Chain A
Amino acid sequence: MALEVGARGEEAVVAHLESCGYKVLCRNYRTRRGEIDIVALDGDTLVFLEVKATAAGGATDPFERVNREKRRRIVMAARHYLAAMGGAGAACRFDAAVVQLDRENAPQAVTIVRDSFSLDRMRGAF
């Protein structure tokens, strides 16, 4: 059930990104040290997206769940991706996507938060 909700959420984000002109390159990029939900291209900037779904009337802020450890895993996966694709010098960005769900867990709205964090706020995490 939870997995299915997540997949439907991601589906909604991909649709939203494509309508905004992003080119989705990869979904669920997984490595031993971390994972990224969506990798997309916004113009010439490589965007690493973390998708968070929030239930109707959910109390917690979805961004609270992108905590320090989660960010660390995203960065590790991003480094892996860049090394594997040979794109070390590319312009990159970490975005977050929030999917609002209704009572039947159907995606309602998608919000993209551009440049949600950068490495300098994570000193000591590596």
Chain B
Amino acid sequence: MLSKVYSGSVLGIQGYIVEVEVDVSGGLPDFTIVGLPDAAIRESRERVRAAIRNAGWGFPARRITVNLAPAIIRKAGTGFDLALAIGILGATGLISGPVAGFLVVGELALDGTVKPATGVLCIALAAREAGWKKIIVPRANWQEAAAVDGLDVYPVKSLREAFDVIRGGRAGHIIRDGMSCKAPSCGGFPGLESPDTGETPADISDVKGQVHAKRALEIAAAGWHSVLLSGPPGSGKTMLANRLATLLPPMTKEESIEVTAIYSAAGLLADGHGLVEHRPFRSPHHTSSIQGMVGGGRLLRPGEITLAHRGVLFLDELPEFRRDVLEALRQPLESGRVILSRAIGAVVFPARVLLICARNPCPCGFLGDARRECRCSPRAIAAYDGRVSGPFLDRIDLHAEVPGQYNGEMTQDMASETSGKVFKRIMVARAVQAERFCGEGISFNGEMSPSQVKKYCHMTDGAKSLITRALNSLGLSARAGARILKVSRTIADLAGRDVIAEEHVAEAISYRNPQRQIYPP
């Protein structure tokens, strides 16, 4: 007998529906799976066999052939176990009537319990897209599936429960349209130093002084502009970068679903975790490989730039990163996505990150410092500068100096602004942008396309002539010019102004610092 069950899998972060056809016929007992299964799926035969036996049914001593369609995509992972088991029960006549109508996802343990699967949210999104109404998921993953509106979610914890749901017996509890979804609180987010988990929450006022750098972070957070902090060791670059997360506006539900889908597909979501609510903050080590940063590998896993989507990608010690790694980031930073083409197909990973980098001004770290002498030779400084390519630096909107702090300044400036105060200003600028970009498909000034720059960056005559003079005298590229305009737009928004004035452009230009002009020769 033949039975058909539908399940799903993930390619990159895109879910797709898989038809699991099971044929049980006479002949010498055998169990084969076709349709490009990987090793984990071929091993699922042993799990399915044991699970069916231990759930109290006999495993049929028949010739069983399973086909996973579409047969052209190489399937990976363990999420088909439950669908396979249901298909076999169906094909041996234990489930009468169609099992269609349900999408079934889950990994089986030998005792017949259902274990969590990866990519449940991605599969649920694909299911809704394809017009499915009902989905059976492992209990540990129900919150992910419930985040998708318009799907009835049936959480199960064993093969027996899934069987009952399909046969229409005990239905367990159904979650309709996420109604009984009690907005799960979000803790233990991987890689995020969440502001509300620490004993004393991180706050921008923890860093004394550094008004210039803090202003740069404020502009960055308000308009989604990339930042480079450079300064001597111990001046607070890393502390500042870590506190950028406290300034970011919260994610919308759509953004939250995008981010959660990435973590779900990568298997980085804790069991029982619902939507990710905090923006990610990723701080990869400078020895990271290209694959680790942009994604790839045999299973096409997302890289750090994708894991930081809608959040912060912090590259500490920028010149220590491998040059080819930084070059590989250039194109995704510009386009906001990574396209990986492999033999098994092309996948697109979203990569809209807020890039923040930190570096020392020279190998010893004290070039231009007020108190300490730099001991580097001009040649060593040039070599250090050369480690990060011009095109990469050209993509950074805000170059901010973080000078060394000495006792006097630190005690004088004890009353720093708190994150909350800065955040309020940012939210005002954010609201202005939300109104401006309504229907444009972007949400921040930093994401504007050239035509949008033309449309929204109205300037006074003074501002226009200033930017023309600046481009000529500083020898900046056209891209740098466009970036200055976007930053000016954000500065004007923070000031509550509709038209960009000379002072806004001037401030934006002050953050373009390709040659170190602040330092005395």
- Contact yes or no, B26 A93, CB < 8 A: no
| B27 CB within 8 Å of chain A | yes
A residues near B25, Cβ cutoff 8 Å: 89
Closest B residue, CB atoms, query A75: B28
Residue of B31, B32, B45, B61 touching A93 (CB-CB under 8 A): B61
User: Given A91-B62, A93-B61, do A118 and B27 touch, yes or no (CB 8 Å)?
Assistant: no
| A41 CB within 8 Å of chain B | no
| B321 CB within 8 Å of chain A | no
User: Given A115-B59, A115-B61, do A120 and B30 touch, yes or no (CB 8 Å)?
Assistant: yes
| B93 CB within 8 Å of chain A | no
| A92 CB within 8 Å of chain B | yes
Q: Which of A93-114 contact B (CB under 8 A)?
A: 93-94, 114
Q: Which of A79, A94, A115 has the most CB of B within 10 A?
A: A115
- Contact yes or no, B26 A114, CB < 8 A: no
Closest A residue, CB atoms, query B29: A118
Q: Which of B53-69 contact A (CB under 8 A)?
A: 59, 61-62
- Contact yes or no, A45 B61, CB < 8 A: yes
A residues near B30, Cβ cutoff 8 Å: 118-120
- Contact yes or no, B31 A88, CB < 8 A: no
Q: Which of B131-160 contact A (CB under 8 A)?
A: none
Q: Which of A75, A94, A118 has the most CB of B within 10 A?
A: A118
Residue of A45, A78, A120 touching B31 (CB-CB under 8 A): A120
Q: How large is the interface on A (under 10, 10 to 19, 20 to 34, 35 or more residues)?
A: 10 to 19
Closest B residue, CB atoms, query A94: B29
CA distance A79 to B26 in the complex (A): 13
| A20 CB within 8 Å of chain B | no
| A90 CB within 8 Å of chain B | yes
Q: Which of B25, B30, B32 has the most CB of A within 10 A?
A: B30
- Contact yes or no, A89 B61, CB < 8 A: no
A residues near B27, Cβ cutoff 8 Å: 82, 88-92
Q: Which of A59-91 contact B (CB under 8 A)?
A: 75, 78-79, 82, 88-91
B residues near A91, Cβ cutoff 8 Å: 26-27, 61-62
- Contact yes or no, A120 B61, CB < 8 A: no
User: Given A45-B61, A115-B59, do A90 and B26 touch, yes or no (CB 8 Å)?
Assistant: yes
Shortest C-beta distance, A74 to chain B (Å), equals 10
Q: Which of B45, B59, B62 has the most CB of A within 10 A?
A: B62
CA distance A120 to B32 in the complex (A): 7
CA distance A115 to B53 in the complex (A): 12
A residues near B29, Cβ cutoff 8 Å: 92-94, 115, 117-119
B residues near A94, Cβ cutoff 8 Å: 28-29, 61
Shortest C-beta distance, A117 to chain B (Å), equals 8
As a 0/1 sequence over residues 58 to 85 of chain B, the CB contacts with chain A under 8 angstroms (1 = contact) are 0101100000000000000000000000
CA distance A19 to B25 in the complex (A): 28
A residues near B31, Cβ cutoff 8 Å: 118-120
CA distance A114 to B53 in the complex (A): 13
Shortest C-beta distance, A79 to chain B (Å), equals 7
Closest B residue, CB atoms, query A42: B61
CA distance A78 to B29 in the complex (A): 11
Closest A residue, CB atoms, query B45: A120
Shortest C-beta distance, B61 to chain A (Å), equals 4
B residues near A92, Cβ cutoff 8 Å: 26-29, 61
CA distance A89 to B23 in the complex (A): 14
Closest A residue, CB atoms, query B46: A121
Shortest C-beta distance, B274 to chain A (Å), equals 39
- Contact yes or no, B59 A78, CB < 8 A: no
CA distance A119 to B62 in the complex (A): 10
- Contact yes or no, A79 B61, CB < 8 A: no
Shortest C-beta distance, B12 to chain A (Å), equals 31
Q: Which of B245-275 contact A (CB under 8 A)?
A: none
Closest B residue, CB atoms, query A117: B29
CA distance A119 to B31 in the complex (A): 7
CA distance A75 to B28 in the complex (A): 8
As a 0/1 sequence over residues 453 to 480 of chain B, the CB contacts with chain A under 8 angstroms (1 = contact) are 0000000000000000000000000000
Shortest C-beta distance, A115 to chain B (Å), equals 4
CA distance A90 to B26 in the complex (A): 5
CA distance A45 to B62 in the complex (A): 10
A residues near B32, Cβ cutoff 8 Å: 120
A residues near B59, Cβ cutoff 8 Å: 115
Residue of A89, A115, A119 touching B26 (CB-CB under 8 A): A89
As a 0/1 sequence over residues 2 to 45 of chain B, the CB contacts with chain A under 8 angstroms (1 = contact) are 00000000000000000000000111111110000000000001
CA distance A89 to B63 in the complex (A): 10
CA distance A118 to B59 in the complex (A): 11
A residues near B61, Cβ cutoff 8 Å: 45, 91-94, 114-115, 118
A residues near B45, Cβ cutoff 8 Å: 120
CA distance A82 to B62 in the complex (A): 15
Q: Known A-B contacts: A120-B31, A120-B32. Give 18 more (CB < 8 A).
A: A78-B28, A79-B28, A90-B26, A91-B61, A91-B62, A92-B27, A92-B28, A92-B61, A93-B61, A94-B28, A94-B29, A115-B29, A115-B61, A117-B29, A118-B29, A119-B29, A119-B30, A120-B30
Top 3 nearest A-B pairs (CB, nearest first) are A118-B29, A119-B30, A115-B61
Chain A residues within CB distance 8 Å of chain B: 45, 75, 78-79, 82, 88-94, 114-115, 117-120
Can you list 30 A-B pairs, Cβ within 8 angstroms, ordered by A?
A: A45-B61, A78-B28, A82-B27, A82-B28, A89-B27, A90-B26, A90-B27, A91-B27, A91-B61, A91-B62, A92-B26, A92-B27, A92-B29, A92-B61, A93-B61, A94-B28, A94-B29, A114-B61, A115-B29, A115-B59, A117-B29, A118-B28, A118-B29, A118-B30, A119-B28, A119-B29, A119-B30, A120-B30, A120-B31, A120-B32
